[in-house]
Amino acid sequence: MGLLRIRTYPDRVLREQAKDVSNITGNTQRLVNDMIETMYAAPGVGLAAPQVGISENLLVIDVNSREEKKYPLIVLVNPVIMASEGTSEEEEGCLSLPDFKSVIERASKVFVKGFDREGKPVEIEADGLLAVALQHEIDHLRGKLILDKAGPLKRSLYKKRVFKKGRSE
């Protein structure tokens, strides 16, 4: 197992529509293990394969705190949001957008279907932080970032800062 490099904006892979995983192989299992290790090391509560340069529909999530283990570690292959309801606004950050946070409006509840790391069907009904994390990571699989949901001024300022930093390195 090993830590993977987390891709940051404006890396092109973050804007790609990820491809469905058609066959779960030993390579897929290694990728899942490496993504889990990378997520914990970052530290983050979720990580999608495009964030580590792999354009595949695969994500890992662990919204547990050190004190409370409410949910198991989630590995989802080819996840799809089947239904959602309500709205909520929460401040979000992203491992692929260093030093960027924004209040994002999302569905307050979601129903997600996909497959676990063994290829067995999984259904998750979620609210709270887990609903936010699922929507955030599934957005990554669709080439969307929280930057896209931020206000135009905040988005513009962040983009200018990133491009200015990139030119100065």
Q: Active-site residues: which are they? A: 137
Reduced to 3 states, what is the DSSP secondary structure of residue 23? Answer: coil
- CA–CA gap between residue 88 and residue 126 (Å, rounded): 13
**β-pairing, 74-85 with 88-94?**
unpaired
Which among 62, 77, 69 is positioned nearest to 130, based on CA atoms?
62
Which residues on neighbouring strands pair with residue 112, listed in sequence order? Answer: 81, 124
Q: Any bridge partners for residue 61, and if so which?
A: 46, 74
Instruction: Find, among 81, 94, 96, the residue nearest to 131 by Cα.
Output: 81
Contacts (Cβ under 8 Å, ≥6 apart) of 49: 18, 31, 35, 55, 56, 57, 58, 59, 141
Contact 106, 90 (CB under 8 A): yes
